[in-house]
Amino acid sequence: MHWRVLIAVLALVTLAAGKASAQTVPDGDPALPTCPESEPAVVSATPPPIPSRVEGPSGVVALTFDAGADRGYAQDILDTLSDAGIPATFGMTGRWAMANPELVQRMASDGHMVINHTFDHQSFTGLSDRLGGLSADWRRYELVQADAIIAPLIGHTTCPWYRLPYFDGDRSVVGDVAEAGYTQQVGWTIDTLGWRGSSVQNILSRSLRLAAPNAVYVLHVGVQSHDGPALPSIVEGLKDMGYGFATVATLGE
């Protein structure tokens, strides 16, 4: 190893060590929500082909996809995003990641953001599935368990980013999961209604009609929704309107 390279590496290691110690919560402090320690991220030799934000003259929007059922159109969706060179955000359950590890790896290596959609998609409050809701410990377990499956596939933790099943939440949910470090709840501003069986044409016209700067779309990868087949036209339409694309992490930048 050349000495200049060695010094650069040592400087980075020192910097990382300094950062880590600066974030340590002093004894006696009220427990601040922090994400769990994870293995150092696997740093790829080449950056992902898709940047996390692509600017547009009208601003940016975020496309988010839920993956909790079948693999559906996931592959087509990734191909569409690759062809367009734009980033998206995928929220998946631990079960889905277990069933489709190669798709999860591709999402990360293409440059997309992956967020935690719990282990098996139970309603945290019981509102939507009428199963009575989950205890505080169980709520945290749902996220921690999903992350244990997803993190090794993407090279880093999903924490602090999560999306609730059915978006069933309240203040107690927010507090419970914050104790495990999950402080960034991802919602949406535009629902394509693909999950409800809308046609490709209706999904497209609704998506373009409601478009606005910093909009967050929710789409689904599952085969029961036509969001996947509608995506190429949605992307083309939004680009024609001057929109760029961002992950939810880079939306506010």
Q: What residue ranges bind Zn ion (CB under 5 A)?
A: 66, 68
Give min distance, CB of 73 to Zn ion, in A: 15
C-beta of 94 vs 244, nearer to Zn ion: 94
Count, residues in the chain: 253
Q: Is the separation of the CB atoms in 43 and 198 below 8 Å?
A: no
Taking the C-alpha atoms of residue 130 and residue 153, their distance in angstroms, rounded to an integer, is 32
Taking the C-alpha atoms of residue 6 and residue 39, their distance in angstroms, rounded to an integer, is 22
C-beta of 66 vs 176, nearer to Zn ion: 66
Give min distance, CB of 113 to Zn ion, in A: 16
C-beta of 84 vs 191, nearer to Zn ion: 191
Give min distance, CB of 69 to Zn ion, in A: 8
One-character DSSP codes across 103-123: HHHHHHHHT-EEEE--SS---
Give min distance, CB of 118 to Zn ion, in A: 8
Q: Is the separation of the CB atoms in 147 and 115 below 8 Å?
A: no
Helix axes 101-110, 136-154, angle to 10 degrees: 70
Report angle CA 150, 151, 152 to the nearest 5 degrees.
Answer: 95
Give min distance, CB of 83 to Zn ion, in A: 26
C-beta of 124 vs 245, nearer to Zn ion: 124
Taking the C-alpha atoms of residue 196 and residue 193, their distance in angstroms, rounded to an integer, is 5
C-beta of 68 vs 181, nearer to Zn ion: 68
